[in-house]
Amino acid sequence: MTLKHSFPPVVDARTRLLICGSLPGDRSLVAGRYYAHPQNQFWRLLSPVTGVDLAALDYEARLAALREARIGLWDVIASAARAGSSDAAIRDHAANDLPALAATLPDLRAIAFNGGTAATIGMRQLKTAGVDLPLIALPSSSPLHTVGIAAKQAAWTACREWLNAGRR
């Protein structure tokens, strides 16, 4: 199995909502971009949250729109052995230091997890570290999670509340 690594976080001091995936899939790793697989629903799920058609933008404009909306991105896994792109194939993972990143984000209101693997790893780490923020498990945007986008959209759209919310 090949050792695969996550990307650097996309955040700034204004980030209010941090969305964490597990580990980039093979298409994303080859492209060097978060959520590069054309079947991944991430950009379409986040469009109603930001009020911008993210899927219609090029990658750099997508990231700029997320920063403008005060949304950050990262992955819970720093590196892992994995054949292919499935989270089920992840072996021997090393976690990214989510508590340390959260501590650098003064406006952070909540952390959301894109899929079950990200939620399991990220929530365990943050709770163990005593991070006192709302932690949100979202249905995976992955094409491997075959539930339709309509069934996922309400949970993703609910994240909008954290973008304008006061410190909790």
* Active-site residue list: 40
Given a contact cutoff of 8 angstroms between Cβ atoms, the answer to whether 65 and 57 are in contact is: yes
DSSP H helices in the chain: 26-31, 42-50, 59-69, 98-103, 116-128, 149-157, 161-164
Helix 42-50 vs helix 59-69: crossing angle, to nearest 10: 40
Instruction: From 65, 87, 72, 80, select the one nearest 141 (Cα to Cα).
Output: 87
Q: For the sheet containing 110-114, what is the strand order?
A: 71-75, 17-21, 110-114, 135-138
Give the number of other CB atoms < 10 A from CB of residue 26.
Answer: 16
